[in-house]
A = this chain, B = another copy of it.
Amino acid sequence: MLSSKKKYIVSGNSGIKAQQIQFADQKQEFNKRPTKIGRRSLSRSISQSSTDSYSSAASYTDSSDDETSPRDKQQKNSKGSSDFCVKNIKQAEFGRREIEIAEQEMPALMALRKRAQGEKPLAGAKIVGCTHITAQTAVLMETLGALGAQCRWAACNIYSTLNEVAAALAESGFPVFAWKGESEDDFWWCIDRCVNVEGWQPNMILDDGGDLTHWIYKKYPNMFKKIKGIVEESVTGVHRLYQLSKAGKLCVPAMNVNDSVTKQKFDNLYCCRESILDGLKRTTDMMFGGKQVVVCGYGEVGKGCCAALKAMGSIVYVTEIDPICALQACMDGFRLVKLNEVIRQVDIVITCTGNKNVVTREHLDRMKNGCIVCNMGHSNTEIDVASLRTPELTWERVRSQVDHVIWPDGKRIVLLAEGRLLNLSCSTVPTFVLSITATTQALALIELYNAPEGRYKQDVYLLPKKMDEYVASLHLPTFDAHLTELTDEQAKYLGLNKNGPFKPNYYRY
């Protein structure tokens, strides 16, 4: 099964009427364009809604604010600049504190700042970015700035902006155009304000989802003449780039940072190993010991879920379609079954396949009373939740993100997050994981910006192995980990450069 995690949720109401006229040819694509709520970048906003711990933080943002649209406000930062548009510039101080806390947990970017201080590898770079706007993104942006770049930034999602962080960035001079709760029209207006500037033209793009890239393609295609490259980190955005490339329409080099080894391992295996437990506990307070669990899919995500639950004393069954992954499950000590074989006896069903309708209404009908059903895999397609919206079943919301679906005979199924990603909805993503991604993005920008003429053509590239290794090495000090260096003799024996790359591209890790 597809083990790579898809990170976006389709939300049905993402009307984009404002764009209908201009981009009639793109209508179909746009209608299916997700309003992205990225998994990783939502740690802070999720926290706000799911625990009381952030309520104090949230309060200074939301409740005291007026209802005026930021577009209608006149705001200036303390240096007199008004080249930004955020909810409330006065929240800058709160945002700064969040950024400072994030800095402590993103040592790799801080190290990058230090190491590159003299040379300024991004001197001259004019980066336009479109990502979630969170404290972690702020650390990335300020790092890019420290490396010499000029940045302008919009949000890639209408809900995920942390207003106080946006304010802090604006206060310290970054032209940021984003707030929580943008309309669709606002969304494109913000992007446009980033690129359509007098006397400033971007030469690098950092995108998350492909909307920024798309906008420039449609509105300012000439801009690409000066653009040295695109860095894209989402599955969706990468997919779009490959389609462009296939169609021969990609006119600058692009770097797919989504598939770098380090990022993948952390997004999937390492992160999910912890978030499956966290998500289940926060929603159900259940005990793991002795529970029977079936995990559908034994890719990286499934491997992480299975290892964690086994360690906590659960009895874990696995379903798979790929015989190689299936054999791995066997060797790791899990019984490989078809879902039907165990569906009556399990206490928990977890999907992580990337597939659709893995758990069907028929399965749901056969589950035992109290069975918990959740999805760690992909979008909201894995569990056929729609099939549960029938008159004979009663839905009861017992907690945020927790529904009891009740059968006529009284049987209750505990459905988490309505079948959307459990780790997105009911858990948070550690800053360390976000640090891996942000560092990968920074290095990709440096690489593309500094690459000698001809190294990259109008195609989509993976992050060079050596850069991937560098991302990893920047995170080792966090663990007080000491890398061994090859001697000259050893390097020669192995036929390797002492500084890497150390593995062939096909190496499986």
Tell me the A residues contacting B by CB distance below 8 Å: 1-3, 43, 47, 49-56, 101, 104-105, 261-262, 264-265, 270-271, 273-274, 277-278, 281-283, 285-292, 300, 307-308, 310-315, 319-339, 341, 345, 354-358, 369-370, 381, 397-402, 412, 427-433, 468-470, 472-473, 475-476, 478-487, 489-490, 493-494, 500, 502-503, 505-509
Contacts and interface: CB of A to CB of B under 8 A. Distances in A.
Contact of A356 (B283, B358, B489, B508): B489
B484 A285 contact: no
Given A262-B327, A355-B493, A322 B503 contact: yes
Contacts of A335: 315, 481
Nearest to A312: B274
Contacts of A307: 311
Contact of A337 (B1, B322, B482): B482
B345 A333 contact: no
Contacts of A319: 484
B51 A52 contact: yes
Contacts of A282: 51, 53, 278, 281-282
A166 to B, nearest CB: 21
A265 B328 contact: yes
Nearest to A356: B493
B53 A52 contact: no
A508 B261 contact: yes
15 contacts: A55-B400, A104-B369, A262-B327, A285-B429, A290-B478, A307-B311, A310-B333, A315-B334, A315-B335, A323-B472, A323-B483, A324-B472, A324-B502, A330-B476, A330-B481
Contacts of A502: 1, 321-322, 324
B324 A262 contact: yes
Nearest to A303: B509
Given A281-B274, A287-B430, A333 B355 contact: no
Given A53-B402, A333-B313, A472-B323, A47 B285 contact: yes
Contact of A490 (B323, B334, B356): B356
Contacts of A273: 289, 312-313
Given A282-B282, A328-B509, 15 more contacts: A50-B51, A104-B412, A261-B324, A270-B331, A273-B289, A274-B288, A277-B277, A289-B331, A290-B330, A290-B481, A321-B484, A323-B470, A330-B479, A338-B484, A356-B490
